[in-house]
Structure 1
Amino acid sequence: MALSPPPHRIALLFNANKGYDREVIAGIGQYLNSTRVEWDLYLEEDFRSRVQGIERWHGDGIIADFDDPQVVEALSKSALPVVAVGGSYANAARYPEHIPYIATDNAKLVQLGYRHLIDQGLSSFAYYGLPPAPGNAWAAEREAAYAQQLLTDELPITIFRGQPTSAGGWDNASEQLVEWLQELPKPIGILCVTDARARQLVQACQLAKISVPEQVAVVGIDNDPLTQMLTRIPLTSVMQGTEEMGRTAAHLLHQMLRGADHSQTRIIVPPVGINVQSSSRHQPLRSPLVMRARHYIRQYGCLGVKTEQVADYVGVSRTALEEHFRRELKQTVHQALLQHKLEHAGELLISSPLPLADIAVRCGFTSLQYMYAVFRREYNLTPKQFQAQHRGAEITDSTGNSA
């Protein structure tokens, strides 16, 4: 009886400590599970990408992050089949020669975020990017694509790159970001090169007491769950097709191991869609007091704050604030607090596996029974029924339609 050949030994050269890289790796895993292909995968134990000595690795193939210049250099003379994954380029000459390349569509990522901000009724726009660096070519491509969008629409091009993130320079970087935000016209929509940059921007708005999204509507790129957890105001984000990139890369390498020639293959993967959250839901308001109050509610509304605390933050009496809310929003401050809790609970019911009791606590309801009572009164549904009816409703595809 013939023995089965040993599994191919495949190296994955990614920094799996990053959400983007993890999702690409997840796509590779999905391909293996769906096709029953057996690969012996090499991945650093601490999930970092180390290429030193890779030329001495006795394997059969490599899938690698070609946004990393060190990886590109290390694999430039590799005799093994290599599939590259990275950012797309407007200039096709920038893709590596004789290596198949799977890329995220930077132009469409930017276009989707920009169109969403336009749909919010905004007419002023800016961009928060990254400073030039050897590993930031993808960021430069996004910035150039955004600038071209504004140029095409005959709008002013406002771009801020800031400083690299470091512990020592954090305070200075935050001060510069606050200064830039204070100089911008309001209201304005700002697209950020990543979710990490978007989180920094929201924090700077909080420091500067700039209301998000009434004065500054924010959109990130990556839809990174960790960043979402670390951002007080839920972050709107464009979702890259990272898992599809991983599946496609694995498929190409599988074919190459069986003799196929993909040396000239270039595949550009579009974004999956946009996850719309509070950070970009712009609603024009005339009263600066209501803007400040809603900004405070978005940060602390699920922590059990009362109307008096909101009024104290704004710096007016409860009666005065209530009058502004009735005139501007046709509701009381208490109703705005309750609406915020309901919206946050709805988002968690749709996207989170948390038990209902935990969701009630996280959203500031005094008990699960009270959350049930509020849902029945406001939606004529129990939380369970709401979850079943709306799961997936907040995700829109790249055309803007419901998924």
Structure 2
Amino acid sequence: MPSPHRIALLFNANKVYDRHVLTGIGQYLTSTRVEWDLFMEEDFRCRTVGIHHWRGDGIIADFDDPIVGETLCGLPLPVVAVGGSYADPANYPEGIPYVATDNAKLVRLAYDHLIDQGLQRFAFYGLPPTPGNRWAMEREQAFLGMTRADSLEGMVFRGSPTSAGGWGIAQEAIVDWVRSLPKPIGIIAVTDARARHLLQACIVADVPVPAEIAVVGIDNDPIAQLLSRIPLTSVIQGAEEMGHTAARLLHQMLHGGRLAEQRIIVPPKGINVQASSRHEPMSNQHVMRAQHYIRQYACLGIKTDQVADYVGVSRTLLEEHFKRELKLTVHQAILRHKLQTAQRMLVDTTVPLADVAVRSGFTSLQYMYAVFRRELGCTPRQYAEGLQGGEGAPRDAEGLAAVDDTAP
């Protein structure tokens, strides 16, 4: 048997985008049974150190890092670049095949989604320009091009680089920006990490999401979802396809293929729509504020009286507003949010049902079963099995029927 090719993967596995690219590379190797001896630096900060002396056969690398690009250009072995797409073709490295995420289509998907929510004002939360953030600037420029084409003002806020020492000042600046924006407005964040900062700022500023600010991120990062009180809508990059494509190109080059000028732009896979962007225009400010509070704290066991205290009106008056605006009681709105949270969690079959009940705010597993049977016509386990089988559930929590307002 011939010796396997020695391949270096120069990525930052701390980033969800890079991990998805690596997953795509692994999927290519598994599906084709290609034998590669893979090298990946454990400390990504050292990934280019000594690479000129590395005795390998090929490299797949993240070219969004300008140091990586500068180091690898001119190496006498096959290299495949992975990174962001550019409106100006001159920004791509010469003589190296390049697989790129389609920055314009990522932003387009988020922008069109916000338009579909009925919004007419839009903003972009980006990053300060640096050599390593050229992809962020491409997304910002794509956003501005879309708003100009629609004769709209595209508002941009870049904020500060994230650091522990300066986080307090940075968050104050985001809060001030959020308060200054005309509302309602849809905001596209350049990444899910920036979107999470934005959601935190909205909570501090006491600005309802998504009633006054609807937020869409990019990356579909499960960590950002886990750390956000309000479930985040996010555009799903085609990063796994990018990794698969990069591995295929390198495989061809290792066997004599000449692909030096090839450019492959990979579109996004879709958008994961969650509560942060489901803009529901409401004429009643009391209901809007109450819904904002419910989205944050429903799973912590809040009661109707606590919601009324937050809004600053009596329970009776708040109930009247809810029945007029939503055709629901406040308790029913709280229960609907708990049920929707449980439905999202049931997608992951590894989470025990008892944990689902606790984390979605039900007082017991038995009570969660009773609510599922009453509102969805199935048990939580049957609901999860339906999702795995592609059948879905009999009903959705959006169509919540009248429930006993005295239930725990």
Q: Using structure 1 for the length normalisation, give the TM-score.
A: 0.95
Query: Which stretch of the first structure deviates more once superposed, 384-393 or 56-65?
Result: 384-393
For the aligned residue pairs, the C-alpha RMSD in angstroms reads 1.4
Q: Distance in 1 between matches of 2:43 and 2:79?
A: 22
Matching residue within 228, 232, 235 for 2:229: 232
Within the candidate set 5, 9, 15, 1:8 is matched to 5
Distance 1:172 1:44, change over 3 A: same
Paired residue type of 1:264: E
Corresponding residue number in structure 2 for 1:241: 238
2:333 is aligned, of 336, 340, 361, to 336
Alignment partners' CA distance in 2, 1:22 and 1:6: 27
Shift of the alpha carbon at 1:387? 2.3
- Give a deviation string over 1:125-144, Cα, whole Å, max 9, x none: 11101110010000000001
- Where do 5+ consecutive residues of structure 1 fail to align? 395-403
Match of 1:258 among 241, 255, 258: 255
**CA distance 1:204–1:378, shift in 2 (3 Å):** same
Give the aligned partner of residue 203 of structure 1.
200
Identity between Structure 1 and Structure 2 (%): 68
Q: Equivalences for 1:152-191 in 2 at 5 Å?
A: 152-191=149-188
Secondary structure, in 3 states, of the residue corresponding to 1:204? helix
Encode CA deviations 1:191-234: one digit per residue, 9 max, x unaligned: 11000000000000000000000000000000001111111100
Unaligned regions of 5+ residues in structure 2, if any? Answer: 393-408
Whether the 8 Å contact between 1:67 and 1:86 is mirrored in structure 2 is yes
DSSP 3-state at the match of 1:262: coil
1:63: which partner in 2?
60
> How far, CA to CA, are the matches of 2:348 and 2:140 in structure 1?
30
Moved more, 106-115 or 357-366: 357-366
The alignment's TM-score, normalised by the length of structure 2, stands at 0.93
| Aligned-pair CA distance for 1:328 | 1.4
Q: Kindly provide the CA deviation profile for residues 94-121 of structure 1, in whole angstroms up to 9, marking residues without a partner as x.
A: 1111100000000000000001001111
The verdict on how the C-alpha distance between 1:254 and 1:94 changes in structure 2, with shifts beyond 3 A counting, is same
CA contact (8 A) 1:8 1:60 kept: yes
Helix, strand or coil at the partner of 2:18: helix
- Residues 1:140 and 2:137 are matched in the alignment: yes
Residue 352 of structure 1: how far off its partner (Å): 5.4
**Residue in structure 2 matched with residue 88 of structure 1 by the alignment:** 85
CA contact 2:232–2:274 (8 Å) conserved in 1: yes
Q: CA deviation at 1:14?
A: 0.4
Which residue matches 1:367?
A: 364
Q: Partner of 1:350: helix, strand, or coil?
A: coil
Partner of 1:285: 282
Q: 2:19 aligns with which of 12, 19, 22?
A: 22
Task: For 1:126, give the aligned amino acid.
Answer: A
Offset of residue 256 of structure 1? 0.6
Structure 2 residue 266 is matched with structure 1 residue 269: yes
| Aligned partner (choices 96, 104, 107) of residue 99 of structure 1 | 96
Decide whether the 8 Å contact of 1:15 with 1:49 is kept in 2: no
Q: Report the AA paired with residue 266 of structure 1.
A: R
User: How far has the Cα of 1:389 moved from its partner?
Assistant: 3.1
Q: Identify the residue that residue 72 of structure 1 maps to in structure 2.
A: 69
Q: Which whole-Å CA distance do the structure 2 matches of 1:53 and 1:393 have between them?
A: 53
How many equivalent residue pairs? 391
Contact 1:14–1:49, Cα closer than 8 Å, also in 2: no
Q: CA deviation at 1:291?
A: 1.4
Report which stretch shifted further, 201-210 or 46-55.
46-55
- 59-68 vs 302-311, greater mean Cα deviation: 302-311
How far residue 267 of structure 1 moved from its aligned partner, in angstroms, is: 0.3
The corresponding residue for 2:123 is 126
- CA–CA separation in structure 2 for the residues paired with 1:204 and 1:80: 48
| 8 Å Cα contact 2:349-2:384 kept in structure 1 | no
CA distance in structure 2 between the partners assigned to 1:324 and 1:352 by the alignment: 38
SS at match of 1:267: strand
Q: How does 1:376-387 map to 2 (within 5 A)?
A: 376-387=373-384
Deviation per CA, 1:271-322: give whole Å up to 9, x if none: 0000000000110112222111111111110111111111222222212221
